[in-house]
Structure 1
Amino acid sequence: MPPRATTDNRASAPLRNPSIGQFDGVPIRLLALEPAATEVLSLCRQDNPGSVRLVNAYSLALASKDAKYRGVLSGRGMSLADGRPLASYLRRKYQLDRLPHSPGPSLFEETIRCGAPLGIRHYLLGSTDDVLHKLTSNLQRRYPEATIVAAESPPFHPLETAEKAALAKRITDLRADIVWVALGTPKQDFFSTWLAERTGTLCVAVGAAFSFSAGTIPTAPPLLRRLHLEWAFRLASEPRRLWRRYAIGNARFLVRLFRDAWVDPVR
């Protein structure tokens, strides 16, 4: 892997298309959707690959106040830019030719599509039984060659030690290559890290990707996507659940963004 971009020599020529950038101390792989899916497929064939985290304004706002969570986002595997505001900032900061944007639903489906002819075995963990039923039906229709070895909705209570051990054994016994974890932020990132360490299997935390792919959460209209306003559409769709995330999380993210731009300015 190429070395991380550094800021020691401010007088040097602009560094174009570095492999890894950072935001507020969190290393972030600077990959667009297709290269990100390729990297996920490469990681899942490695020994002890760790986890993949899809970071956005909300998760970085949480990490700014939680050193343990920041450590998870910086751990083995990789973090990718999920939200467009973060991706747009990173593109300007590192003068990238392409937006380093890997939204969870798109990365989920692109990886399944590209992994189908390779025989990649997928384990779906999270959401509800209803969502999983619709999700697996849609995936089988869109990607008939894809291999889904299990689709499991875990109990809503915190898993006991024996339950966690049994889950890890099921994943190992089914020889899953990738475990997709949809448990909500930040829970899914902590759990993906633990599960990857326990099983040696790549675990990818994908947020609401299951619901989007299942069709139970509508996607934003193309115009709003072009204007980078998917967040506004989601907020309007689920105001009671998401208002705190966007009102408080985004404000905290903006504070960290200005701090990052001051401490580690655009080259």
Structure 2
Amino acid sequence: MPDRSASPGRGASDPSTTVTLFGYSFHTGSAPAIVAAVAAHHAVGPRTIVTANVDHIVQLAEDADFRDAYARAAARTLDGMPLVWLARATSGRPAERITGHDLLACVLADPPPFARRVFFVAARQDAADTLTTRLQAAGLPDGAVASAVPPFGFEDDASYGRALAERIRTHGTTLLVMGVGAPKSEIWVDRQGRALGNPVVFCVGEALSVAAGYVPRAPWLMQRLGLEWVFRFLCAPRRLFRRYFIESWRFIGIAARDRASGRRD
């Protein structure tokens, strides 16, 4: 794959804290450091942080719009443990797993200055309301947090997309949290571009509902062993069977080709 490392000014790019996999530059430092670096950069459009897992890599191989969104992201982190292990083997350096949960943890307990106007695009209203209450308890005033639960297929509805983008921009959003899953979150933000203003964007998927307490998360040991997917499958087997037992096997071939290409280079 061609190199799609972050361009200058589009997030931290220190080679000592990045590793190149599948043609993209991934940040391997801590979540607070990455969030701070992205927030400190002033841009004319959204500054998106994406959290890569095995499913993302498989989808990137076949979805051009998703690839464009990844290429223009301000920062990319390693969410899935297979990617973390691959990064460590490739670079010979430590690499941290940084998930959507970790990004949210940087702002929920003590909102930093860049998170003073927050907008949640959520899969469920009760989760957005719970996090709104939490942020207000942490010191954000009434009206500083807004939310929307878009209808199914919203990412392809141009009229709805324009209206939602205008609502986000009018709100003065400085932190946009997309909790409606990949690749639609990343693609929708990339398509809207400057219409959203210039917020920091977290694409966190189901982590939004987990943070609100409506969806359970795997025990810590399962996370460390790379078995969080087993826990998630047991919670939603019908929805996740195809992803984990059919589509995800393609990752092995994609990773093998990427490593072979790297050796040739």
TM over 0.5: yes
The answer to whether the 8 A contact 1:179-1:201 is kept is no
1-structure distance, mates of 2:73, 2:221: 37
Equivalent residue, structure 1, for 2:130: 134
Q: What aligned pairs does 1:43-122 form with structure 2 within 5 A after superposition?
A: 43=41, 45-97=42-94, 99-113=95-109, 115-116=111-112, 120-122=116-118
What TM-score results when the alignment is normalised by the length of structure 2?
A: 0.83
- Cα distance per residue 1:16-67 (max 9 Å; x no partner): 9634332222332333322222234324x43324422211100110111223
C-alpha distance in 1 between matches for 2:224 and 2:17 = 26
Tell me which of 150, 164, 167 is aligned to 1:167: 164
Partner AA of 1:137 in structure 2: T
Mapped to 1, the partners of 2:169 and 2:243 lie a distance apart of 35
Mark the CA change 1:32 to 1:253 in structure 2 (over 3 Å): closer, same or farther. farther
Q: Name which of 136, 139, 142 aligns with 1:145.
A: 139
* TM-score scaled by length of structure 1: 0.82
Aligned to 1:24: 22
Aligned residues: 250
Range with bigger deviation, 232-241 or 26-35: 26-35
- Which runs of structure 2 are paired with 1:96-245 in the superposition (5 Å)? 96-97=93-94, 99-113=95-109, 115-116=111-112, 120-141=116-137, 144-146=138-140, 148-158=144-154, 160-202=157-199, 203-245=201-243
Letter in 1 for 2:146: A
Kindly indicate whether the alpha-carbon contact (under 8 Å) linking 1:117 and 1:146 is maintained by their aligned counterparts in 2.
Answer: no
CA distances 1:86-133 after superposition (whole Å, capped 9, x unpaired): 122112211223x23210112122134454356632111121112222
Query: Closer, same or farther in 2 for the Cα pair 1:30/1:265, shift >3 Å?
Result: farther
Matched letter for residue 152 of structure 1 = A
Cα distance in 2 for residues equivalent to 1:20 and 1:260: 17
Query: Percent same amino acid among aligned pairs?
Result: 26
The equivalent residue for 2:9 is none
CA contact (8 A) 2:39 2:114 kept: no
Aligned to 1:11: none
Segments of structure 2 that go 5 or more residues without pairing to the other structure are 7-13
SS in 2 for 1:18: helix
SS in 2 for 1:264: helix
Cα distance in 2 for residues equivalent to 1:26 and 1:70: 10
Deviation at 1:135, TM superposition (A): 3.0
Q: Name the CA distance, whole Å, in 2 between partners of 1:36 and 1:153.
A: 28
Flag the 1:172–1:259 CA change in 2: closer, same or farther, 3 A. Answer: same
CA separation of 1:66 and 1:163: change in aligned 2, threshold 3 A: closer
Unpaired segments ≥5 residues, structure 1 = 6-15
Contact 1:48 1:201 in 2 (8 A): yes
Q: Hey, what does 2:40 align to over in structure 1?
A: 42
Structure 2 vs 1, CA of residues 113 and 193 (structure 1 numbering), >3 Å: closer, same or farther?
farther
State how far apart, in whole Å, the 2-side matches of 1:42 and 1:245 are.
36
After superposition, the C-alpha distances for 1:70-101 in whole angstroms (9 at most, x for unaligned) are: 2221124222212121122112211223x232
